[in-house]
Amino acid sequence: MRKDHRSECVMNRMVEMFGDQWSLLVIRDIMFMNRRHFRELLTDSQERIASNILADRLQKLVKLGIIVKSHDPSHKQKAIYSLTEKGIDLLPLLMEMSAWGQKYVPGSGLRGLAQVLEQGGPRLRADFMAELRESHRLKSIAKKKARRSLWNQAKTSSR
């Protein structure tokens, strides 16, 4: 057993990944509200996460491979956070958690896109996941192309 985990149990490992009160909410905001910039995640969320905690959670999610951070071509100092395939694959889990919460947590309920996805069933969820792949992959592809371009420039200039 590795020393940096309490156990190798899959549930334990997932709790270690997402067990704080903020990580799943950050993923929720990126996935369902399309909040892709730090400032949007900081100011538009009802829960009012502190900026240092948001920065820490974004860094953690990047390290875990749930999201990627890329530069926003429209603004030199902005970054765009995009879901990876690993992040997009969390949609069914988030929907099941939401359905459980709607059933057992008093005063809670699905709203907006989550409600539409719940009512639309598996087909609509699959369509939404495909849409997420398309919209979030564009940023990843642009990042890869930029790296390739830089590598080609470095290769050309070294000749």
Nearest to 114, CA basis, from 68, 104, 21, 100: 100
CB within 8 Å of 2: residues ≥ 6 apart: 8
pLDDT confidence of residue 110:
72
User: DSSP per residue over the chain, as a string?
Assistant: --TTSS-S-HHHHHHHHH-SSSHHHHHHHHHHS---SHHHHHHS-TT---HHHHHHHHHHHHHHTSEEEEE-TT-TT-EEEEE-HHHHTTHHHHHHHHHHHHHHSTT----HHHHHHHHHHHHHHHHHHHHHHHHHHHHHHHHHHHHHHHHHHHHHHT-
pLDDT confidence of residue 83:
96
pLDDT confidence of residue 73:
83
CB within 8 Å of 156: residues ≥ 6 apart: none
Q: Could you give all domains of the chain from N- to C-terminal order, each with its CATH number? A: 10-157 (1.10.10.10)
pLDDT confidence of residue 3:
58
**At 70, phi and psi to the nearest 5?**
-135, 160
pLDDT confidence of residue 2:
41
pLDDT confidence of residue 66:
95
* Regions of the chain where pLDDT drops below 50: 1-2, 140-155, 157-159
